[in-house]
Amino acid sequence: DILGTNDARYCKYYSPTGSEPLVLAIIFSKDNRKGIHPPDLCLVGSGNSILSKDTVVISGFENREDVICRELVVQHSSGSKPQYYLYTYKSGKQYTPSFWSQQWTIFINGILDRNASGALIQVSTQINSNQAQARSKCMDLMKAVIPHLDSKLP
């Protein structure tokens, strides 16, 4: 109810090697652009500090352009190990790291009676000692998920 959509999936993927799990969250809204908001808001609101924010490019897809994602490294006030977050927004067939760009696209598509759906796709994991390794694992999962989202979500 808080998100304004019932179309949310949250999956945890465990490695047989025992490394930290990857968490995949997909929030989809067919016609309510308010159902999606920046993860930064929830993370800061739940006691995290954002240590760094950047963009990364996922490339090498078949039949699609590169996907630009936002990355966050956050630290909880409890002092636990930092967390790595990688996310992107989907509106129609396009992906963007910008919440405002996605919202604008959804708004215009709604006015023009086109596909006004949107989604937030986020992958996260704990950073044990190597941020590059956390980034690589999250990027690999995001790269595997996007083709499925392209074929399943409007």
Q: What is the mean pLDDT of the chain?
A: 85
* pLDDT surpasses 80 at 124: yes
- Pick the range with the lowest mean pLDDT from 6-10, 96-100, 108-112, 124-128: 108-112
pTM score: 0.85
Task: Domain ranges for the chain, please list them.
Answer: 7-152
Query: Binning pLDDT at 50, 70 and 90, where does residue 9 land?
Result: confident
Per the CB < 8 A criterion, the answer to whether 40 and 50 are in contact is yes
pLDDT tens readout for residues 51-107: 999 999 999 988 889 999 999 999 988 878 999 999 999 887 889 888 877 877 767
- Asked if the model's pLDDT at residue 1 lies above 80, the reply is no
Q: Residue 45's pLDDT is what?
A: 80
Strand ranges inside the chain, DSSP E: 7-13, 22-29, 48-58, 67-76, 83-91, 94-96, 118-126
Cβ 85 vs Cβ 74: under 8 Å: yes
CA distances from 72 to 43, 119, 151 (A): 10, 18, 27
Is residue 71 within 8 Å of 53, Cβ to Cβ?
A: yes
pLDDT for position 34:
61
